[in-house]
Chains A and B, each alone.
Chain A
């Protein structure tokens, strides 16, 4: 195993490059010593290129010849009597291919953003978040255990929400960023529960259960319903992150950021992170029919819902968002059916294609005009089945449902947000009442009152 040393180094360099950029840009910003644009853009481009080269080299040198996954360990981050948390990357064709794809796409987007965000006040902040996101993506792709996976998952989610709220001088982006973040929290909670449960059931050998790391001891005896529960929790986490039903309503809201960030997150990488996780967790899914059925059903329902919704959207970004969601739903179905290779090819092709479409979204007028000129007139849009189905009244109702995006927002508002906020409000009331009671009972109110009057 002499080749493992350069391999381990290359993978580490690949992951560390964007992480270093994140640290450098973040720390310089913290001290208000931001690098000039060329420095920031150059660093980001160099890091993405480095990662891309590193992953491609590893993929070519290793991935095509050796099929067995390998676990690279970079030592313990913390140690407890139960085993602690280790920094481990799992290297196989799937993880390397996804990491290389992420690096290539991140590189293109960073080159794009460098010019697109030129002279923008948030230029530096954007690149800090982009580097954070890319680091997170690499961690998700290469995670060798569930802790690393969770860290990556969180970095992706946090940077995503912060970029949705990039234009924080307007209220709409900030409100939508909160919305995205809160749905991500649901997904994160499911993910965390799955991680804890996994740890509890399988101990430090968790990855073999989750990732089916053959050769690292796949014989862990897991008893009872644990795999099913874990798998279902994972499916919930994926549903939140990949905007499957019933969480789909955050996706169009996330289109508030600059065009390239919308492209890389919701057209290309972040939206597929969930699919990738499901692919990784394939072996676990195979333990649990219920989870597979759930995933398949969610995927199919999402594909249908998004397929109808996208037809009605009259702004280019929402239209693309739902179009992307249609494919994501289908990819999830493919995974549920166990067609892993097809799912990955579909995922990779979709990520590239949608990236191009999102990046050239502002060009839609130019493109449509050019197409019309070439064809010699406006092509009559072929109507789908749905547009011709049922009575006129039924079609109007369908249209309204698609226009209002399945009313998912208001359903979420009513079923989750309203009870939650009202509970929070009651708790606040109770808290206040309790404080007042304590203050009053202990005679503190006299002192507080005096200070108040002093001002």
Chain B
């Protein structure tokens, strides 16, 4: 029996429990880093429209909602945002108010367009003084004025010294006029003063003491040690008592007062909890009472407390909800336990801070005393108010005489307008325009792309994961072997299972995170030579034990000393190879792996009655297998047009020195590698019992058809083919031809991928590019083994004909769906399986890019793996969630644009059947559009219904192959149609 004070006295109805449950979704929902699952960073805000949600979250969490205005302006300059899109978005945003006159200056639309396109540099205080005194702001007009304004000042801006003097005078007069008119009118009402809720914020603002900085190091050490999954050799004692119970046991020693000056009273506070026999919730209540938090403030206060160390709080919540996802399962982890401990530490730190600022009263009165001394916001000065108006006057090309006539109402109207169209709002508009530009380019391409005629039965088919990294691979494969057809579906191929490879220590779930698998499938060695098998096993174990002993011994004094003195210098060999010659070390790795891996293995997919180590059943029944096969064949529309050879290709990614390795794996496999799923699927589809059952269901598979499972490593472009020895003789020629095509596609795809790596010269041939990506995957010094999902922007659900030959620059998730073989059922099913995965990926990349150090985890370089659960920055910090900058740096943060090949009516129906997806669409977390199956009509979803998108540009055509279009180019490339020369002559 486990003594467990945090759960056995648990009371779900306790009001504090409810408050905590209500606040918990605000925390980052990232689980252990070795199983990385992409999800919407702001999942808790999904019931708000996207723009409102990101802005509100920005305020509540202290993060950025969009990129900075300067970044958007760079994109305007480089043509990634078009002015016409800004105009269109503004018109949409303003509606009928667009033509309203503002302060007699111009129509609201014109004013906002000028501000959005050209900007008003924000300046206040000393910065403004500097701008006014040290820069030409008051002697020259802005150089980036819109055309109409420029013409107004044109006479002044040209010519020699005389006109320069004139210009200086004119600018000065304009500024003086602005200042005078502002001085004439009353200042706008002062903004509401948001008072902080935590004691720490008051003390920091008033006395410069940061109690968080005092207590966080100790708190983090405690939490990291408590949650540790096997990094430390000595695990924390009393971990079964729960976070609060364990803390009470450890910190009650008088020595705990030595944790720092702040901890003077910590042992006393802890002992008091122990004496009163408080559990976590009563301890929180007690602490709240001591800190003087009233009942109506509790939610706000606890929210602020939770967010102060949100990464750690988040992982605690994740483990509390899914204890099956961490290896150390004997410890009790609860968010309330953490809060109780946090408040104990906080009380000690606040007591010390109160002492240092000479406050003698009770802690509960500390805030009310400090609140009176809290600084009030200073109203803006006349110069600060005149500065934006001065810019408006320039942007609108106003004459001084007009500005001089401004009275209070005009100034008030303009200030009101500026307040309304503030920095956030301007960024919102620019962001929407940015997305519109990207999205419309895709719409135009899809509408203009003419479907190719379906020729005869393809030589072979290959079913991939819908991942956008497969877009390029599929394109190259089809270019190499025009007689093949590629398809795609969610990369777990409907096989939800716990899988344990023959060399795996633990089974691992391979399916979307929403599903908890019930089936267990093991891989077993198929060996005739028992001796060789045993030797290999022994070799592997010996290697493992050696590694383990070196790992542990290096941390021990005496064993370490012997190890270092005798063999330390040997590590120069791996150092030189792995750092200076990574490609060679990738070869060596391969040699080692093939020598210790079994020659032949098989998956045990058949149902066995023995109880599995995890899940409910070992293996699948024939019925279950038939359902899985049928589902994939129906979803992809393969049904009755199977070719004699069908490849099923999952994907994964293996890289070194990359704590975020799992984030590059297959999202549909829950951050695992999808090869086993592909292999299991092929094995099921080849099973004659399954085929017989399917035949009776009306799905006929030609007996001559053979399925082959495979896995592609998206990092080093290896393609592993499973069970190749089983391919029947009649399929051999096609199989060998297909293998050759895949080999060539591997090289070409690596080549295309390399164009985004700065380190690869643009003249590299495909062979060298393949060697480069192989080296990259084995390189200890490489923080960007691959770019993962970066640049993803689109998702296209439909037949391959609609996208075949279209260069989509690895930006589109492609999902096979055949509207001509569907009565509506399948679309709803496909949407519900696909959209949550792709939306999660797209939104995670959005937030990690937009605020890399806030929503993302910043640069990888100082990352420090802690507790085997996540990474910290440097020596110690909050647990960092989200994606590192090196993974997202080439991304364009845009919401995903999904195009579905289905009529608007059918799409609407399918959406109605998926309320969760409908909500995402309604609140514009994703864009969705319908592409008519038989025509090029494309209509985008709007709250008022589908609106037709008239093509804005034609689709350029490139004759040859993909490399003819991308070779030598580094940045984003718009879609083009790649037409092989052969089809042109035909």
Contacts and interface: CB of A to CB of B under 8 A. Distances in A.
Contacts of A330: 557, 561
B233 A311 contact: yes
B372 interface: no
**Binding site of A, secondary structure by majority: helix, strand, loop or mixed?**
helix
A172 to B, nearest CB: 6
Interface in A59-112: 104, 108, 111-112
Given A258-B862, A360-B657, A384-B234, A346 B259 contact: no
A116 B783 contact: yes
B232 A360 contact: no
Interface in B494-510: 503-506
Interface in B139-153: none
B237 A395 contact: yes
Interface in A366-385: 366-379, 381-384
A285 to B, nearest CB: 21
Contacts of B222: 403
A311 B237 CA distance: 13
Given A112-B780, A396-B250, A414-B261, A376 B547 contact: no
A248 interface: no
- Identify the interface centre among A116, A359, A369: most chain B CB within 10 Å of its CB: A116
Contact of A116 (B255, B570, B781): B781
Contacts of A400: 250-251, 253, 255-256
B327 interface: yes
Interface centre among B225, B506, B875 (most CB of A within 10 A): B875
Interface in B229-266: 230-234, 236-238, 249-251, 253, 255-256, 258-261, 263
A323 B567 CA distance: 17
Contact of B568 (A315, A326, A350, A410): A350
Contact of A368 (B230, B554, B656): B230
B557 A115 contact: no
Contacts of B228: 314
Interface string A151-191: 00000000000000011001111001000000000000000
Interface string B761-784: 000000000000000000111111
Nearest to A121: B859
A174 B868 CA distance: 26
B218 A404 contact: yes
B574 A410 contact: no
A356 interface: yes
A19 to B, nearest CB: 24
Interface string B544-566: 11011001101111001101111
B572 interface: yes
A360 B574 CA distance: 11
Contacts of A411: 258
A401 B255 contact: yes
Interface stretch (A132-140, A239-247, A249-257): A249-257
B504 A373 contact: yes
A327 B874 contact: no
Contacts of A357: 554
Interface in B733-787: 758-759, 779-784
Interface in B181-238: 213, 218, 221-222, 224-225, 227-228, 230-234, 236-238
Contacts of B572: 104, 108, 352
Contact of B780 (A176, A363, A375): A363
A248 B231 CA distance: 22
B571 A353 contact: yes
Interface string A334-371: 00000000100110111111111101111111111111
Given A404-B259, A410-B261, A349 B504 contact: no
A111 B547 contact: no
Highest count of chain A CB atoms <10 Å: which of B759, B779, B864: B864
A375 B758 contact: no
A386 B34 CA distance: 31
A150 interface: no
Given A172-B877, A258-B861, A400-B255, A314 B782 contact: no
A374 B543 contact: yes
Interface residues of A, number: 103
A271 interface: no
A124 interface: no
A318 interface: yes
B659 interface: yes
Contact of A311 (B230, B555, B570, B872): B555
Contacts of A454: none
B540 interface: yes
Interface stretch (B296-304, B307-315, B575-583, B924-932): B575-583
B221 A403 contact: yes
B250 A108 contact: no
Interface in A117-144: 117-120
A409 to B, nearest CB: 7
B889 interface: yes
B801 to A, nearest CB: 39
B541 A352 contact: no
Contacts of B873: 167, 170, 172, 256
A337 to B, nearest CB: 13
B555 A323 contact: yes
Interface in A296-321: 303-304, 307, 310-319
B485 interface: no
A43 interface: no
A413 interface: yes
B282 to A, nearest CB: 23
Contacts of A376: 505, 541, 544
Interface string B88-114: 000000000000000000000000000
B210 to A, nearest CB: 9
A362 B865 contact: yes
Contacts of A205: none
Nearest to A331: B561
Given A368-B230, A396-B253, A410-B258, A115 B552 contact: no
A281 B29 CA distance: 56
B874 A173 contact: yes
Contacts of A372: 505-506, 544
B381 interface: no
Contacts of B557: 303-304, 307, 326-327, 330
B569 interface: yes
A319 B781 contact: no
Contacts of B251: 400
Contacts of B862: 166-167, 173, 255-259
B656 A366 contact: yes
B481 interface: no
Contacts of A313: 231-232
B865 A355 contact: no
B533 interface: no
Contacts of B889: 119
Contacts of A315: 224, 231, 864-867, 872, 876
A277 interface: no
Given A312-B232, A348-B569, A367-B551, 6 more contacts: A115-B781, A171-B213, A314-B228, A366-B658, A371-B544, A403-B225
27 contacts: A166-B862, A167-B861, A167-B873, A255-B874, A311-B233, A311-B555, A313-B231, A315-B867, A316-B866, A318-B876, A323-B554, A323-B555, A326-B555, A326-B560, A346-B564, A349-B567, A355-B571, A363-B780, A368-B230, A368-B551, A375-B545, A381-B552, A387-B234, A402-B234, A410-B260, A413-B260, A418-B261
Interface of B: 33-34, 213, 218, 221-222, 224-225, 227-228, 230-234, 236-238, 249-251, 253, 255-256, 258-261, 263, 327, 503-506, 540-541, 543-545, 547-548, 551-552, 554-557, 560-561, 563-572, 574-576, 578-580, 656-659, 661, 758-759, 779-784, 859-868, 872-877, 886, 889
The 9 closest A-B pairs by CB, nearest first: A349-B568, A374-B544, A256-B874, A315-B866, A258-B861, A407-B258, A375-B544, A353-B568, A372-B505
